[in-house]
Structure 1
Amino acid sequence: MSGGAPVVGIVLVSHSAGVAESVAELARGIAAGGAVAPVSPAGGTPDGGLGTSAELITAAAAAVDRGAGVALLVDLGSSVLTVKALLEDGELPPGSRLVDAPFLEGAVAAVVAASAGAPLEGVVAAAEEAYGYRKG
């Protein structure tokens, strides 16, 4: 990533604030070696409970928007529905995409790709390829 160049931002939407924050920390740590793309967790509800929050998701997306798009990775059912509703209502930055990828592996792949300067389509493809990771 060069200074000032548009970069894809990543939002990690989980039903748990702790899970979203931990996955963001892991992804940032693995991508570290140079500049790391902006990553924001959007987990749980504003009062600290389990669930999803449109307010937290929109704030996280605005925080990571650097003009090259925002990739949103989600964990479970209602997080998918919440992000889809926000996209349909135009409440997320232009170029925002819901990514169909495994949450942890996809997040790591997305952050690494974005940190390397990949465009939104490249970040999405990297995250989606995580479905093919074999562990045995």
Structure 2
Amino acid sequence: MSTPLVGIVLVSHSAQAAQAVADLAAGLSGAGATVPVAPAGGAPDGGFGTSSDLITAAASAVDQGAGVAVLADLGSAVLTVKALLADEELPAGTRLVDAPFLEGAVAAVVTASTGADLGAVAAAAADAYAYRKV
């Protein structure tokens, strides 16, 4: 049996944005283990917004028992995740990570693919704030 990996949930106001970031992050993870990544984007009707139900389902889908790192794009997505955490509606060991959405997602997935624990995955995602482009 393989060691459980940290799961990653990407919460966006757009289903397409969440899916694209999930695909990019998974595609850039290299030769490491396949990390469970789930997008939770948009409203249930397919429009823009956030959905508690989609976030909860995504977190349950990626939970292997090693923790779940959740990255969110904008204010109300963050507030929705915080409310779910406060109400204990997400799997035990779920953490909202303060990180840039795209760069943080890539760092989280790459780090999780090495078998790192939730603390290391969250730290790698947060470190993405320091990535310089010039």
Instruction: Quickly name the TM-score band, shorter chain normalised.
Output: over 0.9
The answer to whether 1:73 aligns with 2:71 is yes
Q: Provide, for residues 75-116 of structure 1, a one-character-per-residue CA deviation record: whole Å limited to 9, x for no partner.
A: 000000000000000000000000000000000000000011
Task: Report matched runs for 1:1-136 at 5 Å.
Answer: 3-136=1-134
Task: Give distance in 1, aligned partners of 2:89 and 2:30.
Answer: 30
Q: Which digits, 9 at most, give the CA deviation of each residue in 1:21-56, with x for residues without a partner? A: 000000000003232210000000111000000000
Percent sequence identity is: 70
Q: Distance in 1 between matches of 2:18 and 2:115?
A: 23
Q: Could you tell me whether the CA contact under 8 Å between 2:32 and 2:110 is conserved in 1?
A: no
RMSD of aligned C-alpha atoms? 0.7
TM-score for both structures, normalised by structure 2: 0.98
Q: Which runs of 5+ in 2 are unaligned?
A: none
Distance 1:52 1:72 in 2: 13
Name structure 1 gaps, 5 residues minimum.
none
Would you identify which runs of 4 or more consecutive aligned residues in structure 1 move more than 3 Å? none
Q: Partners of 2:18 and 2:2 in 1: how far apart?
A: 27
**C-alpha separation in 1, matches of 2:20 and 2:34:** 16
Separation in structure 2 between the aligned mates of residue 72 and residue 28 of structure 1, nearest angstrom:
15
| 1:67 counterpart letter in structure 2 | G
Q: Within 1, Cα distance between the matches of 2:24 and 2:5?
A: 19
Q: Tell me how many residue pairs correspond in the alignment.
A: 134
| TM-score (normalizing by structure 1) | 0.97
Structure-2 separation of matches of 1:36 and 1:20 = 18
What secondary structure does 1:7 align onto? coil
Instruction: Report if the CA contact (8 A) 2:7-2:35 is conserved.
Output: yes
